[in-house]
Amino acid sequence: MNTVDQRELPSDARVLEADRPSSKYIDIPASQALRLDCDQRLGPFRIAYETYGELNAAKSNAILVCHALTGDQYVASKNPVTGKPGWWETMIGEGKPIDTNRFFVICPNILGGCLGSTGPASINPETGKAWGLGFPVITIGDMVDAQVRLIDHLGIEQLFCVAGGSMGGMQVLEWAARYKERVFCAMPIATAAWHSSQNIAFHEVGRQAVMADPDWCQGRYQEFGKTPRNGLAVARMAAHITYLSEEALHRKFGRSLQDLSAKSFSFNADFQVESYLRHQGSTFVDRFDANSYLYITRAMDYFDLAAEHGDVLANAFKGTKTRFCVVSFTSDWLYPTRESRDIVQALNAVAANVSFVEIESDKGHDAFLLDEPELFATVTGFLNAAAAKRGLTPAKGKR
């Protein structure tokens, strides 16, 4: 770690967290290097993670929560960079649907992320500089393989549940496909078994915006003490639109003007929706690394669970004993219900134990992160039934 040259780096919290996470972490030695899907080896590497609740003696009550594109390990505790509450605190905590009185929740920062797990913003031990574009292109499968090292380290043979939304859901599916025996039940939420052409297209817009920013410096901005703020902010603005729905945008903003009584006849943020998006863009830049954004969006684009299994999605789940609960939202046009149905269809084709719930919401893709009582009821019911099958006792103080 003495290779970090502070003079070349902006000393903000985000950059510090990339190499010195305030969460727990494990360093995987080179002897346990990952064989990545691109055929390169990666190791040593670090996985930063948080845990909530207690692992029982039988190590049978662990729930792995996989985060989405711009998520992190702070799923149910304060994010050290933004100071904001955990991103799924509505779902996870004492007495919540994923009840930490009963379950041991593990949330790792993904491989390629920028809050402590090894990624392009981390220092490459071989060069002493940030990996930048020298970081290998990773896949969802690689992220999962890296998480397996963490689960091994924690001595957990079988996870009680793997859960996650959006890209987190992709990891859930990959876990269920690659490590069938190690997943008792799985909750892929608002996700798909492959990234659609439209989704790849949106990601490409985002990446091009980052790379068009002169401060990106061909990916070497950290060396020059710069940040491609504008490019990354535009990428986030475009992506943010895809997380909402037309109805939600209209309800929230309509055509209302921002602190104005009349149009300004300029290119200022006249409309509330513009001002909102600009705010989303600029706060995102403060907490996320631009190269990380490139790598993770790429990993999502490459995700195609059917292609990994001879173009037949059902093959990915052949012989599975895992209990599945697939969830989609009516107004999610980024990962529409149709794509969840494809997953359900494949699971039915192997007669897997599957529940599928489509939840009515006008909040778009982001609904999975929001206060959706029907989602909470689904998760609670599914986990309770699965826990009974697994022989887990109810939470303390509740019968």
Partner 1 sequence: MLAPNAFRQHRVDHLLIAQMVAPGSRVLDVGCGDGALLQLLADTKEVDGRGIEVSRERVNACVARGLSVIQGDADRDLDDYPDGAFDYAILSLTIQATRQPKAVLEQLLRIGRRAIVSFPNFGHWRVRSQLLLTGRMPVNEHLPDSWYVSPNAHLCTIKDFVDLCRVVDARVERAVAFNSWGRQLGTWIPLTAHNMLGEKAVFMLARK
Q: Is 365 a catalytic residue?
A: yes
Per CB under 8 A, does 211 bind partner 1? no
What is d(CA 338, CA 198) in angstroms, rounded to the nearest whole number? 14
What is d(CA 394, CA 337) in angstroms, rounded to the nearest whole number? 32
Considering only residues 215, 274, 358, 362, which one is a binding residue for partner 1 as defined by CB under 8 A?
A: 358
Dump the DSSP string for 51-118: EES---TTS--EEEEE--TT--S-SSS--TTT-PPPTTTTTEETTSSEETTT-EEEEEPPTT-SSSSS
Binding mask 298-337 for partner 1 (x = CB under 8 A): -------------------------x-xx-----------
Per CB under 8 A, does 348 bind partner 1? yes
Q: Report the site for partner 1 in 237-266 (rule: CB under 8 A).
A: none
Per CB under 8 A, does 388 bind partner 1? yes
What is d(CA 91, CA 372) in angstroms, rounded to the nearest whole number? 10
Is residue 370 left, alpha or beta, with left meaning phi > 0 and alpha meaning psi from -120 to 50?
beta
Considering only residues 55, 307, 350, 395, which one is a binding residue for partner 1 as defined by CB under 8 A?
A: 350
What is d(CA 2, CA 20) in angstroms, rounded to the nearest whole number? 12
Considering only residues 26, 55, 217, 344, which one is a binding residue for partner 1 as defined by CB under 8 A?
A: 344
3-state DSSP helix/strand/coil % of the chain, to nearest 5: 40, 15, 45
Q: Where are the alpha helices (DSSP H) in 244-303?
A: 246-252, 272-287, 290-302
Least separation in angstroms between CB 339 and partner 1: 14
Binding mask 363-382 for partner 1 (x = CB under 8 A): -----------x--xx-xxx
Considering only residues 70, 227, 355, 361, which one is a binding residue for partner 1 as defined by CB under 8 A?
A: 355
Least separation in angstroms between CB 264 and partner 1: 45
Per CB under 8 A, does 399 bind partner 1? no
Q: Is 270 a catalytic residue?
A: no
Considering only residues 252, 345, 371, 393, which one is a binding residue for partner 1 as defined by CB under 8 A?
A: 345
Considering only residues 186, 357, 367, 392, which one is a binding residue for partner 1 as defined by CB under 8 A?
A: 357
What is d(CA 360, CA 337) in angstroms, rounded to the nearest whole number? 11
Least separation in angstroms between CB 192 and partner 1: 17
Considering only residues 360, 370, 394, 396, which one is a binding residue for partner 1 as defined by CB under 8 A?
A: 360
Least separation in angstroms between CB 304 and partner 1: 20
Per CB under 8 A, does 351 bind partner 1? yes
Per CB under 8 A, does 356 bind partner 1? yes
Q: Are 10 and 227 in contact (CB under 8 A)?
A: yes
Residue 133 or 377 with smaller CB distance to partner 1: 377
Considering only residues 82, 196, 280, 384, which one is a binding residue for partner 1 as defined by CB under 8 A?
A: 384
Q: Is 332 a catalytic residue?
A: yes
Neighbours of 202 (CB within 10 A): 19
Residue 79 or 322 with smaller CB distance to partner 1: 322
Residue 392 CB contacts under 8 Å (≥ 6 apart), including other chains: 56, 60, 61, 102, 160
Q: Report the site for partner 1 in 19-78 (rule: CB under 8 A).
A: none
What is d(CA 7, CA 222) in angstroms, rounded to the nearest whole number? 11
What token pair was written down for 180? Answer: 């069938």
Tell me the backbone φ, ψ of residue 83, rounded to 5 degrees. 75, 5
For 28, 89, 107, 174, 189, the CA distances from 358, given in Å and listed in that order, are: 39, 22, 25, 21, 10
Sole window of 115-123, 217-225, 280-288, 383-391 interacting with partner 1 (rule: CB under 8 A) = 383-391
Bridge pairing between strands 353-359 and 323-329: parallel
As annotated, the active-site residues are 166, 332, 365
Positions that interact with partner 1 (CB under 8 A): 323, 325-326, 344-345, 348-351, 353-360, 374, 377-378, 380-382, 384-385, 388
